[in-house]
Every structure is written in structure tokens, then in C-alpha cells.
Chains A and B, each alone.
Chain A
């Protein structure tokens, strides 16, 4: 029988496992998200009613007007009045739908009078957040362990929806987002805010939200952006305004101190063990996505580091540092000088020069990095 889709739906909603997973759009935590949810439900109900009428009539017809029940077919093949009616009535229903849709949309696009502004930059495959009013900026990367993705460890509760440094915003304040991209088109989406805006390279898009409830809200990149499109989530923590003030002041202080410490560390040396330990960590979280955990790279796309290239060439220390710090123009090799601290850079380059049997014996220190950066 043609009721299959409805039965499937009913069956689905009764399965205990499925009943746990959310089946409907979130109502979210903003006025806008609630309006969007209401709009979604109204349109859905209208569709259900129209569907019930149309499919109902079809089923009645299938039963009553089958050849065995109605051997002589009727003769009619037009009826102007009815045809006009079923053209006008849907038009009126649509006009009815269009009114709340229009008012919601106009409200959503009003970005004026923001309290906090955040610049959001998407890149392959992470987000960068920079607060406009305060001197705080950082990258936000997927924090889920590779072993969970490769099915070696059990998957955590927020599998693929966790990051190392979430965006923090105040509740009860209008927060304006300026969204752009460093490379390809990405899209910043937080379902609980009903905010989704494409990140177009070379252009800024603006959007805003005003969160009613403190909490942690998770979203994902919503525009295919390459290999790890599914692995660059968005996590936002909304704090009460006083707590947010405290947090942002702390962070500003922290980043200021970290910049000072960078300078101090220039004078410090690290041992081989320290370098290799930290280097391996950085390599796995930042470089292995392209160059692979075993340093073999991907044929034709990402060069191998194990046993090849600048990483094994004893004369190419500076070139190796330059490549990592400044990137390679016209390729996918990014400039990591602005993404990693000098300590981290020194460690990861040391690791690359000594792991996988490369064994150059070179130990790179923060001072070396500093020299190349300021040449």
C-alpha cells in the first residue's frame, strides 16, 4: 500500500534507539532560533494537512475506483471552476506562509547595534576567532583523537563536535560575526543559534546572534571545503556577561603574557627529548593530516617528509624552517609562523628532521626560528 512512508515514520519513531536521537530541528536558545523553529513547524503542518487530503483522496480512489469496484469509468476530463479553485487556494495558502517568513527574515538580517564583534575566518580545516574589542585571537581545531576516528578507541560523547579552543561569547548581548575565509568557501553554522553564513575568501559576510541561555553549543562547517570538511566543527560557549568579561580580560592578559614569554624563550634551549616529545605532538595534531603520521605524504598531492626533501638535507635547515614558517605560495602548504609558537615550530621541525629514520641529528631551537622569521 502507498502508506509506506507514513508507516516507516511511525516505526522509526518507536524504535528505542531512534527515539534517543533527535529527529526534529532544535528550538535553539535565541529568539531568532525559536521563530525559525515555529516557522518550520507551521509549514510542516500545512504540508501534512495538504498531504493528508491529497493522499487520502488517492487512497479512496484506489479502493473505490478500481476496475473491479467501478467497471465503467466516468467521462469527465475538465472542470473550469474546480481548476480555478485549486489554483487560487494554494496561492492564498502560500501568501499566508510568506508573511511570517518575511518578518522573520527581516528581523534576522538586522545586524545594527552590536555589543561584541568577532571576526571568524575559516580555513582548511579549522576556524580562527579574533575578538574586535579585545586583543584576543586563536585557532579552533577539532579535538577528537585520530584513534577514535580510526576505530581504535571508543568514541567520546562529543565525537567530532569538540574543539581545543571554543569561541566564547556573552549571553544577553548582541554578538556580531564577520565571517570570511582564507582559502576556499566554508560555512559557519550553529544550529542552536539558527546562524549559518558562508565564509567566502576575499569577502566578509556579517551575521549576528543574541543568546538567551548560557551553555555549550555545537555546530559544523556547512560547505564542502575539501578533505576534512567533516572534521572542522564549531563550538561556542555562551557565558553570563559578567563571567564573559572575566574570561576575556583573563585571555587578553594570558595572550599578552604568552607573547612576552615567547620573547624570553628565545634565550632558552630545549633538550633533544623535550624537542622530540613536543615535536611529535605538534606533528600529529597539525602536520599529519596532509603529510601523514608516518611522514609518507600522499603521492601527487602532499610531499613525503620521511627520507626525502628538506627534512633529510643537512644543508637545508634554513630552507626547512622557511618552508614551515612562511609556507609555499601557490600550494596548499600554509604559513605556520603565525599559527604555532616559536617553541612549537622549533620542536616540530626538529622532529621532522629526526623521526622516521631521517636522523639528521639537527636540533632546532626557538632562536633559530626567530632568526629566520626576522631575516
Chain B
């Protein structure tokens, strides 16, 4: 391969082009072309007779030398094939001369911020609309028992409820133990270690039992709903359901929502029990509180309303997680990558909404004195 060169001849009006103008030479050529193009005027002769091989990259650089005027007759000494190649490249470049430029950074930042706000608002209205859709489908199918999808319902209860039992129980048990340790350490300074029992029971009955479950369910089942419905959407299976005169909401969404409405309170109850057992273990082994004393104090000091404060939130969270999971699934478009993006978005949104609602509920229950 001959090294490609572009040099200004001694007479100052001719530019001599020589060598193989191919892609491999382009890095070296780009600099030379950049330097020379300022000296190219209307009267400059571009002598291309020294050019050996020419490919599209080389042709593109040749045109750049002539300020992209696209006139192939500006180059002397090109072969017929090379001239044709140059003309083809010039045509392709001309179409792209007016390619849109990127806007500057600040405008892009503002535009992105605007897009994000608009996106958030659209997500919110879509979610509210989707919840309405689910509720109306639910109301319609409740009065028609022949349209209940019992098999699907039990399948999803098994998937989201039964299969989640070990992980939810273990996690709550461990968090219960950690809370007990924390309480014991701080309360010991006040000589009030016995209050550890209340700390554990209050926190697990009111908040942690249901919140830990909701986070686990959002990560496990909400994401699964998005992935399942999303891949069906990507393969046009959802459209197939629609063309058969069935409602995707009724076939795909209702069984999932109902399954989670049933499974989640059960899981929350399990989480409360496991967390309290975890705390009790710490009390028994590191504080001088016997199991009998722990139970006695639990019954005496903790009112049952704390249990209801926690439990009442479980179906609410279940509904939100299922609705967000299914809605994100329906938003999937075409590619496999989109399934992944919406699954992530589904988990983030579910956990965000769950914690937001939990915080609002905490204020509410405090105000009504529960």
C-alpha cells in the first residue's frame, strides 16, 4: 500500500494528490486535508493523477478538500471508475449536508428536565387510568363467576405467595434480630432493656412486617409481572388476545392483582411473626428476658390495633405493586431491551410508591390517634 499524500506544489496553484486514498490511510490523511483545505481556492488545480486505490473514505476526504462542493470535475486525472465512485459519494454526502446539529448543552439540559417532568406526569395519569381500568374490569367480572380465571389465580398465588415464604420469613427474622440488638444497646444505658419488647412488636406490627414484605414482593413479583406481560407484548401475544375478543386486562391483569391481594396480607402476617421471633431470640439470649416473660409483656403492653394498622396497608400495597408491574409490562415496545428497561422502572416505581404511601399512612394514623 502506497502512503497517501496531499501536498501543495511549488507553483502554489496545484495540489498534488498521490498514493492509496483508502480507509487505512485516513487517520494520517485527515490532518493533511484539514491543513490544506484553507489554501484551496477557485483557481486551485486539484491533481489527482497520482492516486492509486480509492475507496469511499478516501473519496469523502477528497470532497472535503474541495469544501464539499460535490463537483467531481474539479479533480484532474481520475479514472472513470474512480470518478463514478466520487460522484456516488458526493450524492450520498449532499443528502446529509443538512443533517441536524446537536443543540448546545444548556438547552439540552432544560429540554431533558422538561421531558422528565412531562414523563413523570404522563406516568402518573397513566397509572391512575390503569387503576380505573382494573377496578372496572374487576367489578364486571365479579358478577360473572364463569369468567373467573381460577387456575391462573392459583398459579399466581403459588408464584407470588407460597414461593416467597422462605425469603420473606428469613429476611424479617434477621431484621427483627437487628432491631432488637439496636434497642437493647441503646435502652441498656437507661436501664430500660425490657422496653425492647415493645420496640420490636410496635415496629414489626405497624411498619416493618408489611414494608419488608412489600419491598420483597416488588422486587420478586412486580418485576416478574412486568417481564411476563412485557415479553408477551413484544411478541404481539397481547394483540393476539385482543383479536380473539378477550380483554388483556381481564385475562392477564386481574388474576395477578387478585393473587397479590390474597398473598400479600398472608406474607405480611408471616413477616410480622418471623420478625418478632427474631427479636425474641435476641431478647432471650443476650438480655435477661425469658420467652415466657417476652410473651407476657407482648400481650400486656401491645394493643391489637397496632396489628391492624400494619395489616390494613398490605392489600393497598399489593394492589399498587401489581398495578405498576402490569402497567409497565404493557408499556413495553418491540425490543428485548425495552423489557429490561421497563422491569427496572417497575421495581423502582413500586418501591417508591410503597414508601410514599407508607409515610402518608403513618401521618394519618398518628393524627387519628391510633
Q: Do A and B bind each other?
A: no
Interface residues of A (CB under 8 A from B): none
Interface residues of B (CB under 8 A from A): none
